[in-house]
Structure 1
Amino acid sequence: MAFKPALVIVDVQEDFCPPNGSLAVQGGRDIVPSINELLAFPFAVKIATKDFHPQDHISFASNHQPPNNKPFESTITIQNPLNPEETEETRLWPDHCVQGTKGSELVPELDVSKVQHIVEKGQDKRVEMYSAFADPFTTNVSRSNLAQILKDVGITDVYVVGLAADYCVKFTALDSVKEGFKTWVVGEATKAVDTSALPEVHKEYEKVGVSVIGMGDLTKVKGYTS
């Protein structure tokens, strides 16, 4: 199959960026110039994703009773509503990226004029959804239309950037492989919540064949013509 690349920009939203984001990743805004540079490359399709939670989302610490409701510290076990035998443990967060709020908006310095699709995720209040493709359950409760968009265009390779490297970028990249795409993460165009977690993230990538590359390693994309 001929090389046909896509760019997926994960969750570069106000709530994930300083100075005012409720769940700001340190240096989150600093990657936007690199992402804008990538947006000028001839990807076959360019997609931005957004966390887009209802106010009563299960991942918000504010929706749980004390003492197990400390943002960043407390964890809960989520039971799959479609298959009660399947469970996932997840961390609780401050309210973030609530539908219709300033925090859910893509940062204004991101060149969205070059983005063809905006994919919203995390809309089902019952499940966590770090990946831009689907929630983590084997029997999915919530799936976005990202895989369908990529398959409809005939994409072979997915290049993932954005926030955060150790959460939504990681799970999006891992799911991209599951969906059948050769997957690349552009290191300089991501930031992590916890940089000490990155070696473990990269080990997970190695197991499934995700490649972490630099901005200088995109010569194949630059030379792509549809």
Structure 2
Amino acid sequence: MTFKPALVVVDVQEDFCPPNGSLAVQGGRDIVPTVNELLSLPFPVKIATKDFHPQDHISFASNHPPPNNKPFESMITITNPLNLEETQETRLWPDHCVQGTKGSELLPELDIGKFQHIVEKGQDRRVEMYSAFADPFTNPNISRSNLAQILRDASVTDVYIAGLAADYCVKFTALDARKEGFNTWVVGEATKPVDASALEDVYKEYSKVGVTLIGKEDEAIQKVKAYS
């Protein structure tokens, strides 16, 4: 297939950024100039994703009884509602990106007008969904977005990923993009992690499956600049 790149900007939302985000990633707002630089390139497909949770979402610590309901600390086991044999361990978080709240909005300093699509995720209260493609259950999936469909309908070959957070939603979106069969590139300077010490393991996972970490001057970006 002829090279056709897409840019996917993951969850650059108020709740993931200082100064007021309930789940603010340190330096989260600082990536915006780099993301806007990427948005100015001739990617034929540009997509923003948003965490977009109902108030009773399973990942919110506030929806669980004490003592195992400490945001950032407590872990819970989620069972696939359609297959009780399949379970996932997940961390609990403060309430964040609740539908209809200021915290769920994309940052106003983003060049929002350049996105052709906004993909919302995490809407099923029963499952965590870090990846912008689907929840982590596979047998079967409970919640799938239309992201893979948008990319396939546009005959995209290569997915370039930026956004928040590098060790959660960016990571799982990149791993799933690769699983869906796309060449996958993560633009390092256009991401920030919740926990910087986790990045080494994230990058090991990338190299295992063939996701490539790049810089904004990388050859893979030059290829986009030359796209017409």
- Interval of TM-score (by shorter of Structure 1 and Structure 2): over 0.9
Is 2:194 aligned against 1:193?
yes
Counterpart secondary structure, 1:215: coil
Taking the TM superposition and a 5 Å limit, the aligned residue runs for 1:37-52 are 37-52=37-52
TM-score, with length taken from structure 2: 0.98
User: Unaligned 5+ residue runs, structure 1?
Assistant: none
Aligned-partner Cα distance in 1 for 2:209–2:184 = 10
Who is 1:6 aligned against?
Answer: 6
Aligned-partner Cα distance in 2 for 1:44–1:98 = 30
Who is 1:224 aligned against?
Answer: 227
Aligned-partner Cα distance in 1 for 2:89–2:121 = 19
Taking the TM superposition and a 5 Å limit, the aligned residue runs for 1:28-177 are 28-138=28-138, 139-177=140-178
Who is 1:215 aligned against?
Answer: 216
Residue identity opposite 2:76 in structure 1: I
Aligned-partner Cα distance in 2 for 1:177–1:187 = 17
Identity across matched positions, percent: 81
Superposition deviation, residue 44 in structure 1 = 1.5
Stretches of 4+ aligned residues off by more than 2 angstroms:
none
Superposition deviation, residue 40 in structure 1 = 0.5
CA RMSD of superposed structures (Å):
0.3
TM-score, with length taken from structure 1: 0.99
Superposition deviation, residue 224 in structure 1 = 0.6
Superposition deviation, residue 206 in structure 1 = 0.2
Superposition deviation, residue 62 in structure 1 = 0.1
User: Unaligned 5+ residue runs, structure 2?
Assistant: none
Aligned-partner Cα distance in 1 for 2:146–2:37 = 26
Counterpart secondary structure, 1:151: helix
